[in-house]
Amino acid sequence: MNGNTYRVAILGCRGRGQAAALAYYDHPRTKIVGLCDLIEDRLDTLGQQVDVNERFTDLNEMIDQTSPDIVAIPTGTEFHYGLCMHVLEHGVHIEVEKPMCIDLVQADDVISKAEFQGSKVAVHHQGRVSPAMQAIQHAVDEGKIGKIRYIYGSGKGYYGGYGLMNIGTHMINNMLRFGGVCRSVVAQATTKGQPITPQNVVPSPSGMGTIACEHLTATLQFDDDVTATLLQHRFDRMDTSAYVMEIYGSEGRLFWKGSSAWWLPQPHYLPNGQQWEDLDLIFPDHYKSENRSDPEDYCFVDDYVRALDKDDEHECSGYQGRHVLEVMMGIFESAAYRRRVDLPQTDRGHPLLRWRSEAGLGDLEPLPRDYGNWLSTQVD
């Protein structure tokens, strides 16, 4: 494989930082040149894993001394905006964990800053470029299901509003790959069996901004008569088997779950009828089975290499990440005001905070950041 080797610095060495580092370490066209974290034990642990001695507790020192092409920002969501804006001052490309930011005002600022600096932004929606999703895209391109007409996606059973910001961000981005631009959303949201009220608006766990609702059902409208349904319903126990996407076409159907993909060669499934067929996963030619990184993360890195080689946007670009946020904020707005919301929004502020303010409510009281402890404050 020929071409430039892109220099990468990792900002944040916890779980997602480790996943990102392993992918950049495994890829033959990227080299990790620096690690940064406030906790030196994390730095040392990850540094030993990926054989990097350039370890820093100050991000400016890391960038100044290592001259990276890309800085990965796999940190908590509440830190994304400040770190993205800070790192972009150095004129480098960035990768930021999902969701991109906590609201559209922040996302707009990051995009504007990147455009001014001539930098690219990629948001870590790795499922969109996974081997399974590549197989589904190949099937669509081959015309295996005819014309796409409907997409269905579900979450894992988190509390609805939190599930939207956490897992829904992946599912929406997957839908955007096949549906294109989302033009409008309509949503229904309930808490304890009743439509949400301004009093149900709360701070999200995991630093993901402001949320509401226990159970959420949303309809998305795309171009060419394509619609989608997104479910984020709280289960008593989280169920990863519910995290799936299905694409309905005029001639067949496609089904995605994690690292697997299937094709049904008819548009309407009947019990005891024609059965689903496995699709062959599509990996980059240079992917090695002995790699330590997750294949999805490896494919994400590979698409960044492609984008930089061609001066193109990543499949999971900042523009796509911002559009995901537009959909999520539109869902919250539709649920609150009980109306269809056209995208993109003119008012870029958080709709739930606007709704609370209009109801004369004050600032939100802080809640635990940990999901388990947070959930205990919301569910009897």
Show me where the domains of the chain are located.
6-127+297-311, 129-285+322-373
pTM of the model: 0.96
Tell the residue number behind the tokens 């897992």, with chain if given: 167
Question: pLDDT value at position 272?
Answer: 77
In whole angstroms, what is the distance from residue 64 CA to residue 131 CA?
35
Question: pLDDT value at position 371?
Answer: 96
Question: pLDDT value at position 2?
Answer: 63
Name, in order, each residue with C-beta under 8 angstroms of 135's C-beta and a sequence gap of 6 or more: 261, 279, 280, 281, 282
- Single out the residue of 212, 232, 126 nearest to residue 177, CA to CA: 126
In whole angstroms, what is the distance from residue 98 CA to residue 166 CA?
8
- E-strand spans in the chain? 6-11, 30-36, 55-56, 70-73, 93-97, 121-124, 148-154, 182-191, 194-195, 202-203, 210-211, 215-222, 227-233, 245-249, 253-257, 260-264, 277-278, 341-342
Q: Are 120 and 313 in contact (CB under 8 A)?
A: yes
One-letter amino acid for residue 339 of the chain: R
Domain 129-285+322-373 -> CATH class: alpha beta
Instruction: Indicate the CATH number for domain 6-127+297-311.
Output: 3.40.50.720
Q: Which residues of the chain have pLDDT under 70?
A: 1-2
In whole angstroms, what is the distance from residue 41 CA to residue 238 CA?
32
Tell the residue number behind the tokens 């001259």, with chain if given: 67
Tell the residue number behind the tokens 């991000």, with chain if given: 59
